[in-house]
A = this chain, B = another copy of it.
Amino acid sequence: MGATRGFIVPVGGAEEKIGDVAILRRFASLCGGSQGRIAIIPTASELAETGGRYEELFHSLGVSVARSLPIASRADCQRREWLDVLDEVEGVFLTGGNQLRLSTMIGGTEVARALRRRNAEGMHVAGTSAGAAFLCEHMIAFGREGASPRAKIVTLAAGLGLTNRIIIDQHFRQRDRLGRLLTALAYNPFAIGIGLDENTAGFVGPDETLEVVGSGALTIVDSSELEFSSMAKVRKNDPVCLIGLRLHILNDGSTFNLHTRLAAPPPVVAKRP
């Protein structure tokens, strides 16, 4: 492992687990395929079978090791054996559930430090649904639904902090979350908003290029040219005025560079004769 950061892979939830399995297959391949070792952190889920289910899924995709670390308390985050696993694997996958279970149990622990350090060294970290929300510095903890931003409809909390460039929301189309993502950005337009539909992932490489994988859309809200936000003076549930956002709707194969903020459509593939 060199000093090149590993991929950061937020998934919008409900990723395909039978059939094409494009997202999980791509992650397994990224982690080394048949040589790959993947740790699963099922902490967001309250279902006992979640970790085992992903062990089976990744095994069926041919990786050499897929091991669930069922962290269920802050004390669990000090287990030497599990920290050793995080030192050895090529990838970590955080399951869905409730992102506040992740932030309250893992935040500030040895496991959080290990995930950040190892990602900086090249280990890939994916998270689906609640796991996706937790990946970044600023995490949408919860909020209300609806297409328009309104004061106080979203609650932000500190996440794992692999990057502060993006704020992620998931189940995006399915749960009508543009309003809460815009509200999160309205507080401070520094970050780029990423709305992930179900069965849709953004593979963010070490060069800060995000590539879309999956059957849904990935919505980019770029507030770098924002001219005005009324967030400082609106009252609860009042609509927020936001002028000058850029919006891209990306599908499978499209890319977005988080540094240059340029989007590109999927490359044209020559048709078969």
Contact = CB atoms under 8 A, between A and B. Distances in A.
A228 B254 CA distance: 11
A32 to B, nearest CB: 30
Contacts of A177: 147
Interface of A: 146-150, 172-174, 176-179, 182, 195, 197, 215-217, 219, 221, 227-228, 230, 234, 238-252, 254, 263-266
Nearest to A145: B176
Contact of A243 (B239, B245, B250): B250
A246 B246 CA distance: 4
Contacts of A251: 230, 234, 238-241
Contacts of A216: 148, 239
B241 A266 contact: yes
Nearest to A222: B247
Residue among A195, A228, A266 with max Cβ neighbours from chain B (10 Å): A228
B244 A182 contact: no
Given A148-B249, A242-B248, 14 more contacts: A148-B172, A148-B197, A149-B249, A217-B239, A221-B247, A227-B263, A228-B265, A240-B251, A241-B266, A243-B248, A243-B249, A243-B254, A243-B265, A244-B246
A176 B173 CA distance: 9
Given A148-B172, A197-B148, A249 B254 contact: no
29 contacts: A147-B147, A147-B178, A147-B195, A147-B219, A148-B197, A148-B217, A149-B217, A149-B249, A176-B176, A182-B249, A215-B239, A217-B239, A221-B247, A228-B265, A230-B251, A230-B266, A234-B251, A239-B249, A239-B252, A241-B249, A241-B251, A241-B254, A242-B248, A242-B249, A243-B250, A243-B263, A244-B246, A244-B263, A247-B247
Contact of A176 (B147, B221, B234, B238): B147
A175 to B, nearest CB: 9
Contacts of A219: 147-148
Nearest to A200: B239
A261 to B, nearest CB: 11
A254 B228 CA distance: 11
A246 B247 contact: yes
